[in-house]
Amino acid sequence: MYPRTTHLETHFTGSAVVRDIVIGMSDGLTVPFALAAGLSGAVGSSFVVTIAGLAEVAAGSIAMGLGGYLAAKSEADSYRAELEREWREVQDFPEAESREVREIFENYGLSGAPLDTAVRSIEANPDVWVRFMMREELGLEEPNPKRALSSALTIGLSYVAGGLVPLAPYILGLPVTTALVTSAVVTLAVLVAFGAIKAHVTGVSPLRGAVQTVTVGGAAAAAAYGLARLVSQLGA
């Protein structure tokens, strides 16, 4: 007799929330950082950089949150439209839909009497039939009705949290050059940590995730800083 063991499921189920945090935090770290770096190359006041940076964080968080809200609403609207279409097909073309159910089960390896029983079980309940087709034929899961608002808040707040990191040295009133260097170091460290954590959660190599995140953030900041310096020198 074999000893009894407990099987623990370790699958990650918070992909939607993680995606929203990644979207908000990634842009929150990179965009204000690039803006602050660019302004540092053109102005000599940490106060000016702070005001501009905070204004960008406020506007960016609202825009990103609204974008997340509209995306979630669009997903829900699309699901409802497909659900209505599937209901009509089940009601108007039951023979064709029944063949599709049979094909789906055949792809899972069923045949003969078990296949017939499975098909009849699905067709016995129209609601189950429609939901089955939505999931198995179209690959669609019903969205959470609260998803739009939670997505907007998660993305917006993540953007604010990320945006305050590169602006912190300027908010503290450090000289522009010192603030820029400090902001770059702190933001780089946070980008490395954030990229590694994000990669770990999503099943990607932490090193690869960190490198990708740092590369994107660093490239954006370097481009903004170089452009601002160039414009400043041309206007001098």
What is the share, in percent, of the chain residues with pLDDT greater than 90?
19
Asked if pLDDT for residue 202 goes beyond 80, the answer is no
SS percent in the chain: helix, strand, coil, step 5: 80, 0, 20
**Higher-confidence position of 9 and 29:** 29
Least confident of 74-88, 122-136, 141-155, 216-230: 216-230
From the list 189, 186, 180, 182, the residue with the least C-alpha distance to 35 is 180
Mean pLDDT score of the chain, rounded to an integer?
81
What are the Cα distances from residue 150, in Å, to 21, 55, 147, 154? 11, 23, 5, 6
Give me the pLDDT at residue 8, please.
Answer: 44
Element (H, E) at 199: helix 176-202
Whether 108 has a pLDDT exceeding 70, the answer reads yes
Distance CA(100)–CA(230), nearest Å, equals: 62
Higher pLDDT, 40 or 48: 48
Q: Where is average pLDDT lowest: 83-92, 181-190, 215-224?
A: 215-224
Among 126, 140, 136, 143, smallest CA distance to 89 is for 126
User: Residue 56 pLDDT > 80, yes or no?
Assistant: yes
Q: What is the amino acid identity at position 99?
A: R
pLDDT tens digits, 178-187: 998 999 889 8
Tell me which range, 103-112, 113-122, 125-134, 177-186, is most confidently predicted by mean pLDDT. 177-186
pLDDT at 236 (0 to 100): 54
Beta carbons within 8 Å of 232's beta carbon, 6+ residues apart? 41, 42
Which residue reads 């406020």 in tokens?
58
pLDDT at residue 224, rounded to an integer:
65
In this prediction, residues 222-235 reach a mean pLDDT of: 68
> Average pLDDT, stretch 157-166?
92
The pLDDT value recorded for residue 93 is 85
Q: What is the mean pLDDT of residues 141-163?
A: 87
Predicted confidence at residue 58, as pLDDT, reads: 94
Please give the pLDDT value at position 169: 93
Q: How confident is residue 7, by pLDDT bands cut at 50, 70 and 90?
A: very low
